Amino acid sequence: MTDRYAAERGTPAIPACMRAPFSLHFDGQVLTIPERGLRYPAVSGRPASSGRFDYSAARQRLANVGPIPAGQYWIDLSQMWDNAWYRFTASRAAWGNHRITIRPYPDTPVFGRGGFFIHGGDTPGSAGCIDLTHSMDTFVKDLKRLLNGLPRCYIPLIVEYPQ
């Protein structure tokens, strides 16, 4: 079995570009841009048998089931994939119109996991990505507006679940 996300894994690294003038924060229910007061409903991982999302430390270790582990990450909008028929042929129902690669900082424990993205889709839940479902298109539009033509830069992302 091949690793579909091999290109998205790799050694965690510090971004080699300038920092954006805002950041992202995900708490298991909402992805926010705190500096701008923007909020997007979001989940991560697959729902438990109860139908609820479990963000426990134990579940964060489960590949393809658990949520993205708590820690510090970054994204670079230039690494966004647009779901176009000639380029990104993944299901729109599963991925939505866009996906953005999430990169961990070197000191973020990911428990051997990787291939994390921010994406949309029709049904809440993922294999560990941050899933914005139908809010993804608005999120991408807002990011582009906030970056306002800045050259390539990175956006810090903090994942922090309530205890």
| Strands 117-119 vs 98-104: parallel, antiparallel or unpaired | antiparallel
Asked whether residue 6 is assigned to any structural domain, the reply reads no
- Residue 8 in any domain: the answer is no
Residue 83 lies in a domain: yes
The predicted structure's pLDDT at residue 3? 54
List the chain residues with pLDDT less than 50: 1, 86
Within-domain flag for 10: no
Domain that holds residue 75: 23-159
Residue 18 lies in a domain: no
pLDDT on residue 14: 67
Number of domains in the chain: 1
- The answer for residues whose C-beta is within 8 angstroms of residue 45's C-beta and 6 or more apart is 53, 54, 55, 59, 62, 65, 66, 67, 68, 125, 126, 127, 128
* CATH number of the domain residue 37 falls in: 2.40.440.10
Question: Would you state the pLDDT for residue 89?
Answer: 54
Q: Has residue 139 been placed in a domain? A: yes
Calpha distance 121→140 (Å, rounded): 14
Query: Do 1 and 110 contact (CB within 8 A), yes or no?
Result: no
